[in-house]
């Protein structure tokens, strides 16, 4: 494990994790493993990795995927007939923020997660303008706080100069620079 991102965390915090571009894939697996060691019910919002590939990568790293349910915004773009069953709710595209928001809200209500990992804000910035993603995140943070869900947003270090990442300081309780 590289860096303990959970150390010093309080319940119900909203955290932004800035990850160097060159280690992003390994870091996100490490973060998921750390979360699975502390939290009982985790919502993983995947915006950039196909469900089956993500599950395989998590299991390869020894992550207990039984603690996770997924909101997947990418698999349907590659396989329109994919059915994730009870553990994976799919939306049509990472560009459809309303769909993503509705699935997260339904998951908060139905599954009552104690933790949410959103992978990643940088992916959303590929599909939407900074202002649109900022509004989405602001709205999402309010719902996550009222649901008492500790939340980890991730972003690439290369995006730290984007307006969204700069403005997130107003919404999050803590920013961690993953090393």
| Residue 99 CA: distances (Å) to CA of 80, 113, 140 | 15, 19, 12
Sign of CA dihedral 6, 54, 19, 98: negative
Q: What is the pLDDT of residues 43-93, one digit of tens each?
A: 999 999 999 999 999 999 999 999 999 999 999 999 999 988 889 999 999
What is the reported pTM? 0.94
Beta-sheet strands, E only, within the chain: 14-19, 42-46, 68-72, 88-90, 115-119, 150-156, 174-177
| Closest by CA position to 115, among listed 147, 89, 88 | 147
pLDDT band of residue 8 (cuts 50, 70, 90) is low
**CA–CA separation, 174 and 112 (whole Å):** 23
pLDDT in tens, 86-125: 899 999 999 999 999 999 999 999 999 999 999 999 999 9
């Amino acid at each position: 494990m590289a860096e303990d991102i959970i150390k010093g965390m309080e319940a119900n915090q909203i955290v932004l994790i800035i990850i160097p571009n060159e280690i992003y894939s390994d870091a996100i697996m490490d973060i998921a493993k750390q979360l699975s060691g502390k939290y009982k019910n985790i919502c993983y919002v995947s915006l950039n990795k196909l469900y089956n590939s993500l599950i395989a990568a998590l299991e390869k790293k020894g992550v207990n995927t039984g603690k996770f349910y997924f909101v997947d915004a990418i698999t349907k773009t590659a396989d329109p007939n994919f059915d994730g069953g009870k553990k994976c709710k799919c939306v049509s595209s990472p560009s459809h923020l309303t769909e993503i928001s509705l699935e997260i809200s339904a998951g908060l209500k139905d599954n009552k997660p104690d933790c949410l990992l959103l992978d990643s804000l940088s992916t959303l910035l590929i599909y939407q303008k900074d202002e649109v993603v900022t509004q989405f995140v602001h709205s999402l943070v309010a719902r996550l706080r009222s649901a008492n869900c500790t939340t980890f947003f991730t972003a690439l270090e290369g995006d730290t100069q984007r307006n969204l990442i700069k403005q997130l300081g107003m919404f999050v309780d803590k920013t961690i620079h993953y090393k």
